[in-house]
A and B are shown apart, each in its own frame.
Chain A
Amino acid sequence: GAVVSQHPSRVICKSGTSVKIECRSLDFQATTMFWYRQFPKQSLMLMATSNEGSKATYEQGVEKDKFLINHASLTLSTLTVTSAHPEDSSFYICSARVSGSYVGELFFGEGSRLTVL
C-alpha cells in the first residue's frame, strides 16, 4: 500500500518554543491530508484538514494560530505547534488519501510524540 512518513517520530521541547512536524506521502500524491491528535486513552481526534495550495480547515476548538498547517506540495504537509505548552504534549498523526480513491483508503503516518517540558 501507499506510504506516509512522519518526521520526527519523537520530539521534546521547552515550553514556549515551536515545533514542526512533517508528513510526506512517499509514493503517491495527496491533495488532502489530515492531522489528528491523540491523548492517552483517548480517540484519534481530527484537528484539521490540509488541502494542497489552500488554507487548512480546522475543527471546532482547534486554534489555527497555534497549530499552523502548510500543504505546499502534493507530497508534503507540515504542522507547526507554536509557543508549545505542556498541555500540547500529545501524539500527533497525519493521514493522506490517494486522490480518487474511496474513503477507506486513508494511509497514516507513524505518528509524532510531542513532549513539552
Chain B
Amino acid sequence: DQQVKQNSPSLSVQEGRISILNCDYTNSMFDYFLWYKKYPAEGPTFLISISSIKDKNEDGRFTVFLNKSAKHLSLHIVPSQPGDSAVYFCAARDWGGSEKLVFGKGTKLTVNP
C-alpha cells in the first residue's frame, strides 16, 4: 500500500518556466512533509519541508504547498534551471514520534535549456 504517491514518473519543462511536482498521501497521521532531490550516483539531499500546521513554505526559488483536506502537496520551482534536473522525492513522517520517513517513488524532472 503506497502511502505517499508521486503519480508522475517524469516531468519536462523549459528553462525559466515553473516546475510543479505533485505528491499525494493517504495517511492522515503524517505531520511533516519533505522534498528531497537526487542527482545520479549521489544520495538524496534535503530540499525543503513543511509542517502539517502550515500550508506554504518558501525558500528562494522553491515553494511547497500543503492542502491537508486533499492530502496533497506540491513543490513549485520558479524559475526552473537546467541544474534543477534531478529526481525529486516526496517524503512524509508519521506523527507517532518516529523519525521514520515514507517516500514516494520520485519524479524525474528535466529542465531543458
Interface positions of A (Cβ within 8 A of B) = 1, 4, 6, 9, 32, 34, 36, 41-46, 49, 59, 93, 95, 97, 103-111
A-B contact pairs, 19 of them (CB 8 A): A1-B45, A32-B99, A34-B99, A36-B103, A42-B105, A43-B4, A43-B89, A43-B103, A43-B104, A44-B89, A45-B103, A46-B101, A46-B102, A103-B49, A104-B46, A106-B101, A107-B43, A107-B45, A110-B43
- Is B9 in contact with chain A by the CB < 8 A criterion? yes
Which of B32, B43, B93, B106 touches A93 (beta carbons < 8 Å)?
B43
- Is B100 in contact with chain A by the CB < 8 A criterion? yes
- Closest chain-B Cβ to A103's Cβ sits at a distance in Å of 6
- Closest chain-A Cβ to B57's Cβ sits at a distance in Å of 11
* A32: chain B residues within 8 A (beta carbon): 99
Inter-subunit contact A109/B105 (CB<8 Å)? no
Interface positions of B (Cβ within 8 A of A) = 2, 4, 9, 32, 34, 36, 41-46, 49, 89, 93, 99-106
- Please report the C-alpha to C-alpha distance between residue A29 and residue B44 in the assembled complex, in whole angstroms: 19
* A44: chain B residues within 8 A (beta carbon): 44, 89, 103
- A110 touching B101 in the complex, CB below 8 Å, given contacts A43-B2, A44-B89, A103-B32: no
- Please report the C-alpha to C-alpha distance between residue A95 and residue B99 in the assembled complex, in whole angstroms: 11
- Closest chain-B Cβ to A71's Cβ sits at a distance in Å of 14
